[in-house]
């Protein structure tokens, strides 16, 4: 999480291993699969962003290294909250796909 792309977060549901990421990116694998959407949403939240900013270093181009990333605390969600996060991410994905389809229809 450094340089130009710093602060951007992407959730990938099915990642094929081995995978490759650039030098300023991290791949976070969540042990409990059902909680992965929650972790993604947590890191995008105000509290998650505050923790990320707290551990970044450098003035011109702030960066976050692996040791600092491991210091970020993620609150363990209830099963219900984890389920709601999965549903919300799925609904966001469906909306984005529908927008893309609609945009292509308008161009035809």
Domain that holds residue 50: 3-107
Number of structural domains in the chain:
1
Among 58, 57, 69, CA closest to 28: 69
Give residue 2's pLDDT.
40
Residues of the chain under the 50 pLDDT cut = 1-5
CB 14 within 8 A of CB 33: no
């Amino acid at each position: 999480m450094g340089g130009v792309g710093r602060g951007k977060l992407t959730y990938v549901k099915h990642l094929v291993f081995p995978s490759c990421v650039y030098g300023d990116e991290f791949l976070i694998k969540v042990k409990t699969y059902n909680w992965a959407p929650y972790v993604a949403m947590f890191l995008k939240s105000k509290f998650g962003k505050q923790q990320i900013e707290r551990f970044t270093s450098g003035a011109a181009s702030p960066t976050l290294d692996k040791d600092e990333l491991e210091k970020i605390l993620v609150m363990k969600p209830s099963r219900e909250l984890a389920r709601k996060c999965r549903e919300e991410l799925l609904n966001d994905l469906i909306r984005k796909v529908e927008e893309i389809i609609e945009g292509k229809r308008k161009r035809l």
